Amino acid sequence: MSKNEYSAKSINVLKGLEAVRKRPAMYIGDVSARGLHHLVNEVVDNSIDEAMVGYADKIGIIIHKDESVTVEDNGRGIPVDIHPEEKRSALEVVMTVLHAGGKFDKDSYKVSGGLHGVGVSVVNALSESLKVEVKRNGAIFFQEYKKGVPVKPVKEIGKCKKNETGTTVTFIPDKEIFKVTTFKFDTVAERMRELAYLNKNITIKIKDERNGGEEISYHFKGGIVEFVQYLDETRQPLHKTVYVEGERDNTPIEVAFQYSDSYTENIFSYVNNINTHEGGTHLVGFKTALTRTLNNYAYKNNLIKDNKITLTGDDFREGLTAVISIKVAEPQFEGQTKTKLGNSETKSAVETLVGEKLAEFLEENPPVGRKILEKCLRAAEAREAARKARDLARRKNALDNMNLPGKLADCSITDPEHCEIYIVEGDSAGGSAKQGRDRRFQAILPLKGKILNVEKAKINKILENEEIKAMISAVGAGFGAEFDPGKARYGKIILMTDADVDGSHIRTLLLTFLYRHMKDLITAGKVYIAQPPLYKIKKGKEEFYAYDDDERKEILKRLKVNGKAELETTETMEEGAVKGVSISRYKGLGEMNPEQLWTTTMNPETRTVLQVTLESAANADKIFETLMGDAVEPRREFIEKNAKYANLDI
Ligand code: 0RA
């Protein structure tokens, strides 16, 4: 290589470091506390890489008083010989060239892309000062950098034992770059604990020299088995932790899991020690294997007695805590946060290994298999119960005002304060009411025949009743415990039934429903009973309406009609004309034309409506139960006692 080529390379290095310093967030995410701690993780990752290929088993971290950090390992040490192409120490290349680290060692599991694996050169570029010491070939080598630029060439500074190897990096984050430059012991410790769980052969020590010299050491012989137990510390495990280990398609795979008494699913998946928050192919492989193997086991051993129950994947994961840790040579990270493994071959690698090993485990540990299946079956049962509850809730949704009943003729004004709804007995009266109303503020809901007696029906039957469903959705405020009077679409609910025995029964049924399921409407004084006239009295072109017998007599007296004429006309619909006066009795609302219905019963200027009030809730409760409940005797007593008030409303 010529001298020119050499200086060209140096210029490229400077350009690289400059790029990192110009846009640090591109490389480490951000320059806040998160990015700061990322520097430690980045350096440690290099040591972990060395541990993963079996050359290092000790990592030490020291947070110094001046907020510099030392990361030390007992790996092979970064090579220091002169790089043939670069014509300088390989150590200098690793420390100054972006992504140079991986090029030296193809066998290790490096992380390409994603948050990690940007290389120690990035840490170097973002450090005010970085010093590296390498023990290798019986000597100690040293180099220092300022903002990534070597201060001097690599220098041998001493001797050590030939078998003594390792790398020590000490760096001070650049205060020009970072907004935060104080390290948090707990933040560092948390990641180190995770790494120690994921790499059972290593010991990680952290020392904080700043205050009191806090020190902690992590070493977990059980690896991810201990990790799972740690995660389930507050839960009651149902069995000993299951551990699966092996290699498929050059992919080392480790899985540990257990079921506890909880109902949550806690699966943590890792690729090359990186938590794949978004999951990916390895997670899919695991889930598939779990579902299939447990299902097969259950059928083979006749553990599913109720053949109506089918277990879903979710049932097999309720109360499951699992850690999946795999190593992939060339991981493809996808997803929003680049934490989803995309390598397609990984799915079947994990699936086949876990499937085989789990089946074996279950054969060898029948009591554990039984316990797991019991738990999954309970989950399936609970899911079925939950589904029913959801269906009910969904049915309730069908009752909201998004699905207004087809036969509702709504009003055009939407302000409930100025709106009223007439609940009308029968389609023909409903038709007249629809034509006669003021459609701006009056809505009409015709009901067919007798509505269900809610006092005698179970809630599911009540909700199946078309007339009741129509009322609930028209009012639009829910029902029962969830009734919210504030959502009522109308300020007045007016019950309009015929002035006969059937009409009175229907009115009672409606009031029973409103009392039991929309009580707040009654207590708020929003429920009314329409007062259609009983008689129409006509003299010439003049028309009079009588709402009860007393009124009729009074009108007739005014019109100077004698008693005989009355008697002849009151019993039939046919108009009796006596001395030019005709009296007709309305048997049903349907006999009134729209215009008549408007003037007599619906026009707020001229109508009379009875407000339904609750003098005593307890008493009302008793009355409804007596009138509408199962017991016959108390009802008869009530009717006998109240017969003289038969026409009175509650
Ligand atoms: C490149 C090649 C080899 C090791 C390393 C880098 C290495 C890097 C770091 C960073 C922190 N600790 C490290 N330990 C090792 C392999 C060299 C060989 O083949 O001996």
Report if residue 625 sits inside a domain. no
369 lines ligand 1 (CB under 6 A): no
Residues 526-549: what's their mean pLDDT?
88
pLDDT above 50: residue 647: no
Check pLDDT > 90 for residue 627.
no
Regarding whether 441 and 315 lie in a shared domain, the answer is: no
Is residue 539, in this structure, part of any structural domain at all?
no
Residue 640 domain flag: no
- Could you tell me if the CB of 75 is within 6 A of ligand 1? yes
| The predicted structure's pLDDT at residue 423 | 97
Whether 498 is a known active-site residue: answer: yes
Ligand 1 geometric centre to CA of 74 (Å): 10
Residue 314 annotated in active site:
no
Count of other CB atoms within 10 angstroms of residue 213: 9
- Percent of the chain whose pLDDT exceeds 90: 54
pLDDT of residue 15: 82
Residues 270 and 353 both lie in one domain: yes
Q: Which one of 128, 226, 502, 625 is the catalytic residue?
A: 502
How many folded domains does the chain comprise?
Answer: 3
Tell me how far CA of residue 310 lies from CA of 304, 378, 522, 601, in angstroms: 9, 12, 47, 59
* Domain-embedded: residue 329: yes
Same domain as 384, residue 420? no
Residues 412 and 436 in one domain: yes
* Ligand 1 binding pocket includes 76 (Cβ within 6 Å): yes
Average pLDDT, the chain: 86
Q: For the beta carbon of residue 192, count every other beta carbon within 10 angstroms.
A: 23
The catalytic residue among 45, 498, 566, 591 is 498
For residue 219, the model assigns a pLDDT of 98
Ligand 1 contact, 104 CB (< 6 A): yes
Q: 372-381: per-residue pLDDT in tens?
A: 999 999 888 8
Q: Is the CB of 105 under 6 A from ligand 1?
A: yes
Q: Please, which pLDDT band fits residue 394 given cuts at 50, 70 and 90?
A: low
- Residue 255: per-residue pLDDT: 98
CA of 79 to the centre of ligand 1 (A): 6
pLDDT, tens digit, 9 for 90 and up, residues 230-288? 988 888 899 999 999 999 999 999 999 999 988 778 899 999 998 898 899 999 999 99
Residue range 31-52: mean pLDDT, rounded: 93
Residue 8 domain-assigned? no
Based on the fold, state whether residues 46 and 131 are members of the same structural domain.
yes
Asked if 203 and 278 sit in the same domain, the reply is: no
93 CA distance to ligand 1 middle (Å): 12
Among the residues of 169-280, which ranges form H helices?
185-198, 224-231
Distance 56 CA to ligand 1 centre (A): 10
Domain stop point among 218, 244, 276: 218
Tokens of 494: 């007016």
Pocket test for ligand 1, best of 76, 121, 154 (most atoms within 8 A of CB): 76
CB count in 10 Å sphere of residue 516: 17
Residue 574 has pLDDT above 70, yes or no: no
Of the listed ranges 29-33, 44-48, 537-541, the least confidently predicted one is: 537-541
Q: State in Å: Cα 99 to ligand 1 middle.
A: 13
Please say if the pLDDT value at position 624 is more than 80. no
Domain boundary among 168, 193, 218: 218
> Using a 6 Å cutoff on CB, does residue 102 contact ligand 1?
no
Tell which atom from ligand 1 comes closest to the C-alpha of 76. Answer: 20
Terminal Cα distance for the chain, rounded:
107
Residue 573 has pLDDT above 50, yes or no: no
What is the spatial distance between Cα 320 and Cα 308, in angstroms, rounded to a whole number? 24
Each residue of 508-527: pLDDT tens digit?
A: 889 989 988 888 898 888 99
Per DSSP, the chain holds a count of helices (H) and strands (E) of 20, 27
State residue 465's pLDDT score. Answer: 84
**Ligand 1 pocket residue status of 74, Cβ below 6 Å:** no
> 95 with 207, same domain?
yes
- Give residue 462's pLDDT: 78
Alpha-carbon distance values, 597 to 290, 495, 503, 585, 593 (Å): 70, 14, 16, 14, 6
The separation between CA 570 and the C-alpha centre of its own chain, rounded to angstroms, equals 66
User: Do residues 228 and 316 both lie within one domain?
Assistant: yes
* Residue of the CA atom closest to atom 10 of ligand 1: 46
CATH number at residue 376: 3.30.230.10
CATH of the domain at 475: 3.40.50.670
CA distance 299 to 534: 73
302 touches 366 (CB < 8 A): no
Candidate of 73, 116, 141, 167 to mutate for ligand 1, largest count of ligand atoms within 8 Å of Cβ: 167
Do 353 and 459 share a domain, yes or no?
A: no
Q: Do 119 and 202 fall within a single domain?
A: yes
Distance in angstroms (rounded) separating the CA atoms of residues 503 and 649:
12
Q: Is the pLDDT of residue 104 over 60?
A: no
Q: Is the CB of 78 under 6 A from ligand 1?
A: yes
pLDDT band with cut points at 50, 70 and 90 for residue 626: low
411 belongs to a structural domain: yes
User: Cβ of 292: how many Cβ atoms within 10 Å?
Assistant: 17
Q: What is the mean pLDDT of residues 189-201?
A: 93
Q: Does a structural domain hold residue 591?
A: no
Q: What is the mean pLDDT of residues 199-210?
A: 96
| Mean pLDDT, range 411-434, rounded to an integer | 94
The answer to whether residues 278 and 202 belong to one domain is no
> Ligand 1 within 6 A of 101 CB?
yes
Which atom of ligand 1 is nearest the CA belonging to 105? 2
Determine contact, residues 39/123, Cβ cutoff 8 Å. yes
Q: Domain with 118 in it: what CATH number?
A: 3.30.565.10
Strand segments, DSSP code E, in 161-238 are 166-173, 203-208, 214-218
Helix (H, G, I), strand (E, B) or coil at 367: helix
User: Band of the pLDDT at 388, cuts 50, 70, 90?
Assistant: confident
Q: Given this model, what pLDDT does residue 205 score? A: 98
Q: Catalytic annotation on 425? A: yes
The rounded Å distance from CA 46 to ligand 1 centre is 8
The pLDDT tens digits for 142-165 are 999 999 999 999 999 999 999 999
Chain segment 115-134, per-residue pLDDT in tens: 455 789 999 999 999 999 99
Ligand 1 binding pocket includes 45 (Cβ within 6 Å):
no
Q: Give pLDDT, residue 86.
A: 76
Examine residue 572 and state whether it is found in any structural domain, yes or no. no
Q: Is the beta carbon of 47 within 6 A of some atom in ligand 1?
A: yes
Q: Are 236 and 355 in contact (CB under 8 A)?
A: no
**pLDDT: is 573 or 150 the higher one?**
150
Q: How far is the CA of 106 from the centre of ligand 1 (A)?
A: 11
CA of 78 to the centre of ligand 1 (A): 4
Q: Is the CB of 42 under 6 A from ligand 1?
A: no
pLDDT at res. 401 = 58
Do residues 154 and 271 share a domain? Answer: no
Nearest residue (by CA) to ligand 1, atom 20, is: 76
pLDDT of residue 19: 92
Q: Which of 510, 531, 552 is the last residue of a domain?
A: 531
The model's pTM is 0.63
Task: Supply the range of the domain harboring residue 158.
Answer: 18-218
For every residue of 412-481, DSSP letters joined together read S---GGG-EEEEEESHHHHHHHHHHS-TTTEEEEEE-SPPP-TTTS-HHHHHH-HHHHHHHHHHTS--GG
Neighbours of 478 (CB within 10 A): 20
Residue 50 CB less than 6 A away from ligand 1: yes
The number of the ligand 1 atom at minimal distance from the alpha carbon of 136 is 20
Set 73, 232, 410, 425: catalytic member = 425
